[in-house]
Structure 1
Amino acid sequence: MNIRILLEKRERDTLSAYACRSEQSAGRRVEEEPCSVRTSFQHDRDRILHCKSFRRLKYKTQVFLSPEGDHYRTRLTHTLEVSQIARTVARALALNEDLTEAIALGHDLGHTPFGHAGERVLDLLVPGGFRHVRQSLRVVDVLEKEGAGLNLTAEVRDGILRHSKGRGPLLGGPAGSLAATLEGQIVRLADVIAYVNHDLDDAMRAALVLPGEVPAWIVATLGVSHSRRINTMVRDMIQWSLAADGSAVGLSPAVVEALSALRDWLFEHVYQARTVHEDFVKGSRILRELFGYFVENPDRLEIHGGHRLAGDIPEVSVADFIAGMTDRFAINLYHQIFLPRPWKAL
């Protein structure tokens, strides 16, 4: 019995007319025999979940650099929260939950150590610039599995590439900026819903901001607690999308305004706060000096765990290596290369 065929029939029978069905996928970059027990999107999800880059997210900064507290978010817990939010919305809209989950789990695989500070450093140093969305796609296409990549479906790759909006508008955007599937568009909104809520929660845990400092009108619109804000935004996305007959994904104007304002408030009071910024400056210096060292000494790259793919210039190979580092690996490697070791007598 071919379980995949039964699952594909279940998708045909139960999913919305606007859902992306796995049997209608545009396919993989390299054709391969389909799995007999999983749909193509389930297979993609599993490949991402078991890859090395996913495991390294555990030790990559979300906001607080290399946090020692057990309850601060990392890039991995952020990814899991995005996945949970996105899956809830996809299920409510009868969209493809497996596709949604695969995109969510893979969306930050190419993120640098030290959060967006690391991304900004590489963007200045790499010819042609550096963006973590492009790097995430590069991870799944060519860097994982010793250069073979994960060979994901076109729909998952598209969702990964188009998940980020930076500080741009939450809805809409330039032509081609949105994912081709509604599932990918859900992840795009789930990403910002997740990070504004958990970053605020972590900032309060660190006493960086106090609950009463968040503008009252934002609290009145979104909610006073982490769980209430999540509930408000998820319900709003579901209700707005259902009102659009399920053919679009979005948020109500009131929630978009409050969410955008909260995001901007966090940039001013958390991400650019002196204590957080000082750590990011230090992290940036570490990555900048490591980058310069390996560009000047490309023969040292593989000794320390990097690789150079055929046809890549040294700067790209070094960027691949640095972007894949965890915070603690980058710090330890910096110590090893640049700081003297105490002399030990024989």
Structure 2
Amino acid sequence: MIKTCLREELERKEKSFLSLYATLSAETKGRLRAEPECPLRMSFQRDRDRIIHSKAFRRLKHKTQVFLSPTGDHYRTRLTHTLEVAQIARTIARALALNEDLTEAIALGHDLGHTPFGHAGEEVLNEIVSGGFAHNEQSLRTVDILEKNGQGLNLTYEVRDGILKHSKGRGEIIPTKEENKASTLEGQIVRVADIIAYISHDVEDAIRGGVIKEEDIPEKCKKKLGITHSSRINTMVSNLVVETMKHNMCLTLSEDILNTMEILREFLFECVYFNPLVQKDFQKAKRIVAELYFKFLEDETLFLQETGFTSFYDTKERMVCDFIAGMTDRYALNLYQRLFLPKRWMVI
């Protein structure tokens, strides 16, 4: 039998070695629903474990990062992207003596609500669903409501807040407005770690896919950040840690590195994400998502049959959106083929 003092001992150790700016597990603002403490694990450890064991987390392995349904073994998926974000964020948190468990939990959960086909799926749902759609909000909805057959994961406030505030699109890399910042430094780190991860690995995948060549990368980016995936990450992470420590633990990048990251991100949008070769497949993917969405809105019986639900837990539009957002690329493709394409005639 585990003694109840073990978790409390871990919490005391955490308080003794973490920075004054860290978020302590023992001082969490709590969960949506009160529940007994674990005798062994601290609160943010439990959140991390719940996320890893969730169905939504497992589905990330078959969701697009940039290249749709890649057959090559070395392209990133939404899962491998998530793991890279978690590793980068934990490195930053450890260097700054912040809470690694909290940082990791936020990082592992930040994309749980992402759609099939990457941002193509997100864009089309935002266009056709009343009230719009954003994957960060869907990630929060996933952990609060959709997981565990409607029970949700009942995560702590700090993890939920970090998941909601991680998204930035083409906005500021480090937000200046307080309403756009996570309430914890750990959550703010995940936002930047997400950008560090994708602006580096998307370059690598785009070169692998023949969309760009190494010589296409802006010279300033190669000079300031490095020419390899590892050198780019090391430069950005090291700069973030050093500058943050210089500025009294206010998350900061040097002006030069921040400017270079913005240049690299814009390069990716213009030359990779909006590249005609990539966009051609994105438009096809958007059509698949839209047709599935409207098909299920029109045919309530088919929707209930496909999902296995016997009743509605929300409006039909909201439930169809949840179902579509939760799909993997391959499930969406197979379902589309089954619903919209004629079956092959077989003669034996």
- Contact in 2 for aligned 1:306/1:318 (Cα 8 Å): no
The Cα of 1:302 is off from its aligned counterpart by 2.7
Per-residue Cα deviation, 1:74-104 (whole angstroms, up to 9, x for no partner): 0000000000000000000000000000000
Question: SS at the partner of 1:64?
Answer: coil
SS of residue in 2 equivalent to 1:315: helix
User: Which amino acid is 2:162 matched to?
Assistant: G
Query: Structure 1 pair 65/36, CA: closer, same or farther in 2 (3 Å)?
Result: same
C-alpha RMSD over aligned residues: 1.3
The corresponding residue for 1:265 is 267
Q: In structure 2, what is the equivalent of residue 14 of structure 1?
A: 17
Whichever residue aligns with residue 271 of structure 1, its letter is Y
Q: TM-score, normalised to structure 1's length?
A: 0.97
Q: CA deviation at 1:34?
A: 0.6
Q: Does 1:323 align with 2:325?
A: yes
Cross-structure match for 2:53: 50
Q: Counterpart of 1:187? A: 190
TM (norm. structure 2) is 0.97
Structure 1 residues 231 and 307, CA gap change in structure 2 (3 angstroms): farther
Query: Paired residue for 2:104, among 82, 93, 101?
Result: 101
Q: Please say which of residues 310-319 and 189-198 is displaced more in the overlay.
A: 310-319
> What amino acid maps onto 2:231 in structure 1?
R
- Contact 1:308/1:317 (CA < 8 Å) preserved in 2? no
| 1:129 positional shift | 0.6
Question: How big is the shift at 1:283?
Answer: 0.5
The letter of the residue matching 2:287 is R
State the one-letter code of the partner of 1:14: F
Tell me the matched-pair count.
345
| Structure-2 separation of matches of 1:311 and 1:319 | 13
Among 5, 8, 18, the residue aligned to 2:8: 5
Measure how far apart 1:225 and its partner are. Answer: 1.1
1:304 partnered with 2:306: yes
Counterpart of 2:211, as a letter, is: L
- Which structure 2 residues correspond to residues 103-182 of structure 1 after superposition, within 5 A? 103-182=106-185
**Runs of 5+ unmatched residues, structure 2:** none
Alpha-carbon distance change, 338 to 250 in structure 1, aligned in 2, over 3 angstroms: same
In structure 2, the residue matched to 1:235 is: 238
SS in 1 for 2:180: coil
1:300 & 1:241 partners in 2: Cα distance? 53
CA contact (8 A) 1:307 1:321 kept: no
CA separation in 2, counterparts of 1:344 and 1:273? 40
Q: Please list every run of 5 or more consecutive structure 1 residues that lacks an aligned counterpart in the other structure.
A: none
Q: Which moved more, 1:147-156 or 1:297-306?
A: 297-306
Q: Percent identity?
A: 55
Deviation at 1:174, TM superposition (A): 3.3
TM-fit CA distance, 1:311 = 5.4
Cα distance change, pair 138–177 in 1 and its aligned pair in 2 (3 A): same
Residue 196 (1) aligns with residue 205 (2): no
Match in the other structure for 2:339: 337
CA contact (8 A) 1:197 1:226 kept: yes
Give the Å deviation of 1:307.
Answer: 4.6
Tell me the residue number matched to 1:210.
213
Question: Which digits, 9 at most, give the CA deviation of each residue in 1:248-292, with x for residues without a partner?
Answer: 212111111000110000000000111111111111000000001
* SS of aligned partner of 1:240: helix
Deviation at 1:310, TM superposition (A): 4.9
Is the contact made by 1:110 and 1:139 (CA closer than 8 Å) also made in structure 2?
Answer: yes
Confirm or deny that 1:250 pairs with 2:252.
yes
Question: Helix, strand or coil for the counterpart of 1:164?
Answer: coil
| Partner Cα distance (1:89, 1:7) in 2 | 21
Q: Aligned equivalents of 1:343 and 1:310: distance in 2? A: 36
* Shift in CA distance, 86/69, structure 1 to aligned 2, threshold 3 Å: same
**Aligned partner of residue 177 in structure 2, secondary structure:** coil
* Structure 1 match to 2:33: 30
The residue type paired with residue 323 of structure 1 is: A
| Cα distance change on mapping 1:212 and 1:309 into 2, 3 Å | farther
Q: 1:204 to 1:306 in 2, by over 3 A?
A: farther
**Is the partner of 1:35 in helix, strand or coil?**
coil
Q: Is the 8 A contact 2:304 2:311 kept in 1?
A: no
Contact 2:313–2:319 (8 Å) recurs in 1: no
Corresponding residue to 2:290 among 288, 292, 298: 288
- 1:336 to partner: Cα distance: 0.3
Describe the SS at the equivalent of 2:204.
helix
- In structure 2, what is the Cα distance between the partners aligned to 1:308 and 1:41? 35
Output the CA distance in 1 between the equivalents of 2:276 and 2:328.
23
Name the counterpart of 1:89: 92
